Amino acid sequence: MTDTPAATTGALAPVTMLWMEPTPVGSAARTHMDGTRVRLDAAGIPVRRLINSEQAGGGLVGKASRLLRLVLRARGAAHDGVLVTRWHPFLAFVAPAWRRRGGRVLLLVQGNDASAYETNPWLHRVPGIRALMTKSLVAGDSVLVVNAGLEDWVREERARAGAADVPLEVMPSGVSDVFFDAAPVERDRPYVLFFGGLAPWQGVDYMLEAQRTVAWPKDIDLLVIGDGARAEAVESAQSDTLHWLGALPPAQLAGYVAGAVVTLCPKANTGSMAKTTTPFKILESVAAGVPVVATDIPAQAAMLQDGYGLLADVDDPEDLAREVARVVAEPALRERLAARAADVSPRFRWTAAGPQLAAAVRALSGQVRAGGRRR
């Protein structure tokens, strides 16, 4: 059989999506996966196959078993199209084989090596994990990242590995329509909201300490929505003014975001990760027209240059409390921040960057060899 580019046949090569990170409802990986599907659907690009697993948790053996099953599913699929995939170290066992058999790989990068270690500490125990990270980055035929910090990191990592240049662009993250359209939840008392994963690097303990300081505003509740490693600390801290609601599905969460006076994004200053993070909670707050108070780390400071939030000293919980108190006490400030959020929010809809994603898929489709072989 003669291999010819799919573009010469006039047909778009089949698209497969692969997410190796667990995708339970409400997780960042799930949000990214669903948003990518929305972008492709809006561009009229069908997804032939979605390979993912909602299973999360478990020990090292359980995690390894889940990843092995995903690798086997991906390697056993037809390699005759474009693989659209979120960067993960274990892509090193899939992407090179996909390319060797005539397919092409579009790599979507949402975080760097530091974020991989922070969110998955068990990776430190995997032999050769650093080499797998590099190999998976090098395997992309085209790369889309969510911010300039990640663009620099990917470029440096590929250059260090001696990889050839490939198309590398910034494509911003997006937000589900439910956050734009939700009706505010009604409660007896006004509230400040933290939502998302309760991991140490999310600044959960810093936030709890801020809420205990004298600078924290009176007569306002702190609601915490989410689950994770620091859930027990949040549960233990509950009081008449601090309430933990656990994890909620996006459609229900969106109403709480819309009803908040202000939301919090108190991420820790975790080295290179602080330069590359793009928290969904900031974008989702903006979509709801709600001001944000975030810690002053490089990536978040860059996001808040748009004027929809305030920054707090990452090493001073009382400063977070003071900035929250400002938003609560000054209606004019709150209205100005909310108005700015409303101004910039349309560009955060998932569909806004749909044409950019579609262009990358179509470009790689033209390079796929028609009649790709099965493993």
Question: From first to last of its 375 residues, what are the pLDDT tens digits of the chain?
Answer: 233 344 434 579 999 999 999 998 778 899 999 999 999 999 999 999 999 988 766 777 888 889 999 999 998 887 779 999 999 999 999 999 899 889 999 999 998 888 888 777 878 888 899 999 999 999 999 999 999 989 999 999 999 999 999 999 999 999 999 999 999 999 999 999 999 989 888 999 999 999 999 999 999 999 999 998 899 999 999 999 999 999 999 999 999 999 999 999 999 998 777 888 889 999 999 999 999 999 999 999 999 999 999 999 999 999 999 999 999 999 999 999 999 999 999 999 999 999 999 999 999 999 997 544 433
What token pair was written down for 333? Answer: 């400030």
Sign of CA dihedral 115, 250, 290, 319: negative
DSSP 206: H
If we measure between CA atoms, which residue out of 121, 58, 51, 44 comes closest to residue 86? 51
pLDDT at residue number 328: 97
Q: Which CATH superfamily is domain 6-174+350-365 in?
A: Glycogen Phosphorylase B; (3.40.50.2000)
Q: Comparing C-alpha atoms, which of 53, 55, 56, 44 is closest to residue 74?
A: 53
Task: Return d(Cα 271, Cα 277) in angstroms, integer.
Answer: 11
3-class DSSP state for residue 247?
A: coil
How far from 275 is each of 148, 149, 239, 302, 328, CA to CA, in Å?
9, 6, 35, 9, 29
Kindly state the tokens that stand for 48.
């032939």
Closest CA to 84 of 100, 66, 97, 98: 98
Q: Which CATH number fits domain 177-348: 3.90.1300.10, 3.40.50.2300, 3.30.70.270, 3.40.50.2000?
A: 3.40.50.2000
- Identify the CA nearest to 183 among candidates 248, 247, 256, 245: 256
For the chain, the domains span 6-174+350-365, 177-348
Instruction: Determine contact, residues 63/345, Cβ cutoff 8 Å.
Output: no
pLDDT for 254: 97
CA 249 – CA 226 distance, rounded (Å)? 10
At 36 the pLDDT is 97
Using one digit for the tens of pLDDT, what is the confidence trace for 281-303? 999 999 999 999 999 999 999 99
SS3 369: strand
CA atoms of 327 and 261, how far apart (whole Å): 8
Q: Which two tokens stand for residue 31?
A: 């949000």
Angle at 46 between CA 42 and CA 52, to 5 degrees: 105
Nearest to 192 by CA among 27, 334, 304: 334
Q: List residues bridging with 312 in a β-sheet.
A: 295
Model confidence, pTM = 0.86
CA nearest to 53, candidates 26, 77, 87, 19: 19
